[in-house]
Amino acid sequence: MLRSISRRRALIAGSTLLAAPMIARGGLAQGGYPNKPIRIVVGFAPGGATDILGRVVASHLQTAWSTQVIVENRPGAGGNVGADVVAKAPPDGYTLLLGTVGSAVTNQFLYKSMPYDTATAFAPVALVGEVANVLAVHPDVPAKTVQEYIALAKAKPGQLNYGSPAVGGTGHLAMEYFKSLTGIEVEHIVYKGSALVIQDLLPGRIPSVMDNLPVYLPHIRSGAIRALAVTSSKRWFNLPDVPTIAESGVPGYDAAPWWYVSAPAGTPADIVKKLSDEIGRGIRLPDIEKKIRDAGAAPLPGTSDELAKHIAAETVKWKKVADAAGLKPE
């Protein structure tokens, strides 16, 4: 009896030992990235285009990998608060940033104290999308083209003005870039939000605007304001009859704000590649492309290497613009 029990114990022990490598191999297979929830930090409040794009990316990764992907809104300082959260997170691929051109490039020229080093704090993952700014005027303004707007500004230096929602915002910087290439002088009227710009533009209290296109689109279509040009490198998908500034006699002009995904510096290259490949694949899917366009943006897929090159080129461009405009970090 004792011998029988001992033999049975031996058989059980042996089968356990044989099973152990199989369990270990299974555990390793299941332990690949991702094996826990992923957090995408958005540096702006819920409901805006940045938040919508963050949720589009999160939804795709969650579906593709059957892994929970959470969007966390951390607004403040033009996106710097959220970016700083990611910069200081463990570099393991489980905390990502859905950032803007501000957090990647222009904020460093606007904020005296940056909480992170723009050049070294992040591992670029993927480009996601872009949006056009629009140069538009009240119908009473005697300018129907970009060249006529330039001529009007040169005829009355400093007397023509335009509205935008913020000092150092994408509309302001786009106009400063425009000014630097055309030699015009126009006065900047700063508002606390696009809604207030529209409130003064529609009755003609200000003659022109440079700002993100989507909120102005209904007023352009109704004829309440006249779009002269868009700031993107190509004509915009939902305003195809309006030319770009570049094709309107200002060659090389391109000032379309953009979004991207990055991870903390030091994130393993294989994780960065896996994220980059999947995000790029998702952005090209028709249903996701539609969601991005519905948010007023356009898909701009790009690999981690392409994002890195884009950030480098944009940094050179916007530093020149900031210097030419005399913008001082505050």
Token pair, residue 127, equals 């480009």
pTM, entire model: 0.88
pLDDT of 290 reads 97
Q: What's the chain's length in residues?
A: 330
Please provide the DSSP assignment of 139-180 as one string. Answer: TTSS-SSHHHHHHHHHHSTTT-EEEESSTTSHHHHHHHHHHH
- In the chain the domains, ranked by start, together with CATH numbers, are 38-130+257-325 (3.40.190.150), 133-248 (3.40.190.10)
Query: What is the reported pLDDT for 158?
Result: 83
Helix (H, G, I), strand (E, B) or coil at 75: coil
Q: CA-CA distance, 96 to 263, in Å (whole number)? A: 5
| Burial category of 275 from C-beta neighbours within 10 Å (exposed 0-12, middle 13-18, buried 19 and up) | buried
| DSSP structural state of residue 250 | -
| Cα(158)–Cα(142) distance, integer angstroms | 17
**Residue written as token pair 């993952």:** 125
Q: What is the pLDDT of residue 112?
A: 92
Question: How would you classify the pairing of strands 208-212 and 298-302?
Answer: unpaired
- Give the H/E segment covering residue 32: none
Q: Which of 246, 249, 257, 230 is nearest to 314 (CA)?
A: 257
- DSSP label of 244: B
CA-CA-CA-CA dihedral for 284, 288, 293, 297, to nearest 10: -70
- Which residues are 244's β-sheet partners? 230
pLDDT along the chain (330 residues), means of 10: 37 35 30 93 95 98 98 97 98 98 97 95 98 98 97 92 95 97 96 96 98 97 98 96 98 97 98 98 97 96 98 97 90
C-beta pairs of 15-21 under 8 Å, 24+ apart in sequence = none
Distance, in Å, from the CA atom of 228 to the CA atom of 208, rounded to the nearest integer, reads: 10
| The pLDDT of residue 219 | 98
Token pair of 55 as six digits: 């949720």
DSSP code per residue over 258-324: EEEEEEETT--HHHHHHHHHHHHHHHTSHHHHHHHHHTT-EEEEE-HHHHHHHHHHHHHHHHHHHHH
| Euclidean distance between CA atoms 14 and 197, whole angstroms | 77
**Could you tell me the two tokens for 226?**
């006249």
What does the pLDDT read at residue 3?
38
| C-alpha to C-alpha distance for 209 and 7, rounded to whole angstroms | 88
Query: What is the spatial distance between Cα 66 and Cα 68, in angstroms, rounded to a whole number?
Result: 7
Q: Could you tell me if 171 and 193 are in contact, meaning their C-beta atoms sit under 8 angstroms apart?
A: no
